[in-house]
Amino acid sequence: MLTFTLRRLLIAIPTLLASAIVIFALLQLAPGDPMANVPLTVPPEVKQKMREALGLGEPVHIQFWKWLVQFFWIEPQVLIDNIFGTSFAEGKLRVLSWQTRSPVMDIVMQRMPQTLWVVGTSYLVGIIIALPIGIYSAYRQYSVFDQAGTFISMVGYSVPTFFTGVLLIVIFSVNMPRESFFWFPSIYDTTHQVDSWSAFGFQVRQMFLPVMVLALYNAAQISRFMRASMLDNLNQDYVRTARAKGLGESIVVMVHVLRNSLIPVVTVIALGVPQVFGGAIITEQVFKVNGLGHLLIGAIEANDLPMVQTLTFIFAVLIVLFNLIADVLYGILDPRIRYD
């Protein structure tokens, strides 16, 4: 397993390098000019100096190399400095946002907690909802519960999150009386601080709608995988053998069948984490959550290429990382698999 993990980490290096090249090339070919928002009264020679200050006057390969050095060499040094109080990155040029002229990673770290709160909570809620539904639907195949669960899962997976978000806003925020217990805020207040129980209650209420939108989408997908995996194992010979030995039905299902059924589901859960971050981009726009998705959309609108490139590459890193985690978990959970 250790050899496999190290081999996958080595393979991840050229994979991430190729991803960085593709992202950089696409952004270079994309239409738009960062100087488009500069007032027309600014003289052309001043605009040219501004372009040179942003590094736009340099060859493309030099721009890409500088970004690689700043992201992979200087930014880790900044992280080490913040943790241990050292000064490795002092005076070194970091990846700067064209829009704010501040370090990109500082802005990302400011927005990260909001996204993690919403995305992390929604994924946990989705898993908690999906697993019991998938297990019971498989055990009671073709029952009313199974049919209802299948219908809701298909709807939840098919309907886009921006439509579900607007629908929940109309129901629970616009049409619901404000004094009602079932009223929830439609706009996420990122400046809200939890310093009392009442503040914690408001935090839960403002997280409810965006979390439910993402949780419904995640639960719909995971529950179908859970149901299919359970059905595949319920018909295996070892299940009939366990029942013939006189084991209780709850032990057969919840211990023997569930353990083997969770192997592919855990892999799907690990692979789904990067997709949740991608889906949160739209959800954050709907509920005005000031997280990474909102930051990415704002950077695209402002032609802030360093910000867009860094955020997109972070998503690529998440995909490669959780693919590795899924493979490792699969080998740990299934003793029949030996990567070495």
pLDDT tens digits along 200-209:
988 999 999 9
Q: Are residues 194 and 71 in the same domain?
A: no
- Collapsing DSSP to helix, strand or coil, 227 comes out as helix
Q: Are residues 190 and 244 in the same domain?
A: yes
Any domain includes 15: no
Residue 55 φ/ψ region, left for φ over 0, alpha for ψ in the -120 to 50 degree band, beta for the rest? left
Q: Are residues 179 and 77 in the same domain?
A: no
Q: Which residue has the higher pLDDT, 33 or 259?
A: 259
Any domain includes 30: no
Q: Are residues 297 and 230 in the same domain?
A: yes
Exposure string of 267-293, with b = 16+ CB inside 10 Å and e = fewer, is bebbebbbbbbebbbbbbbbbebbbbb
Tell me, what's the pLDDT at 245?
87
Residue whose C-alpha is closest to residue 125's, from 208, 227, 230? 208
Cα–Cα distances in angstroms (integers) from residue 205 to residues 197, 198, 291, 294, in the given order:
12, 11, 18, 20
Task: Report the pLDDT averaged over residues 162-178.
Answer: 90
Residue whose C-alpha is closest to residue 306's, from 93, 144, 116? 93
Task: Give the separation between CA 275 and CA 315, rounded to whole angstroms.
Answer: 9
Number of neighbours of residue 165 by Cβ within 10 angstroms: 22
Please report, rounded to a whole number, the percentage of residues in the chain having pLDDT higher than 90. 26
Q: Are residues 143 and 276 in the same domain?
A: yes
Task: Give the separation between CA 229 and CA 260, rounded to whole angstroms.
Answer: 8
Banded model confidence at residue 274, pLDDT cuts 50, 70, 90? confident
Tell me, what's the pLDDT at 340?
54
Q: Are residues 325 and 209 in the same domain?
A: yes
Q: Are residues 154 and 276 in the same domain?
A: yes
> Using one digit for the tens of pLDDT, what is the confidence trace for 24-40?
999 888 777 676 667 77
Q: Are residues 179 and 69 in the same domain?
A: no
Any domain includes 102: no
Q: Are residues 122 and 74 in the same domain?
A: no
| Cβ pair 117, 107 in contact under 8 A | no
Domain extent at residue 207: 110-333
Banded model confidence at residue 219, pLDDT cuts 50, 70, 90? very high
Q: 80 pLDDT exceeds 70?
A: yes
Task: Give the separation between CA 46 and CA 24, rounded to whole angstroms.
Answer: 26
How many domains does the chain contain in total? 2
Tell me, what's the pLDDT at 82?
87
Q: Are residues 129 and 227 in the same domain?
A: yes
Banded model confidence at residue 137, pLDDT cuts 50, 70, 90? very high
Residue whose C-alpha is closest to residue 20's, from 60, 86, 67? 67
Which residue shows structure tokens 């129980």? 197
Task: Give the separation between CA 27 and CA 308, rounded to whole angstroms.
Answer: 8
Tell me, what's the pLDDT at 134?
93
> Using one digit for the tens of pLDDT, what is the confidence trace for 84-119?
888 888 888 888 888 888 899 999 998 888 888 888
Task: Give the separation between CA 27 and CA 311, rounded to whole angstroms.
Answer: 12
Task: Report the pLDDT averaged over residues 244-258.
Answer: 87
Q: Are residues 128 and 176 in the same domain?
A: yes
Task: Give the separation between CA 75 and CA 227, rounded to whole angstroms.
Answer: 44
Task: Report the pLDDT averaged over residues 156-182.
Answer: 89
Task: Give the separation between CA 315 and CA 320, rounded to whole angstroms.
Answer: 9
Cα–Cα distances in angstroms (integers) from residue 248 to residues 109, 135, 162, 178, in the given order:
51, 17, 45, 50
Any domain includes 27: no
Q: Specify the pTM.
A: 0.83
Any domain includes 21: no
Task: Report the pLDDT averaged over residues 200-223.
Answer: 91
Q: Are residues 116 and 69 in the same domain?
A: no
Mean pLDDT of the chain: 86
Q: 277 pLDDT exceeds 80?
A: no
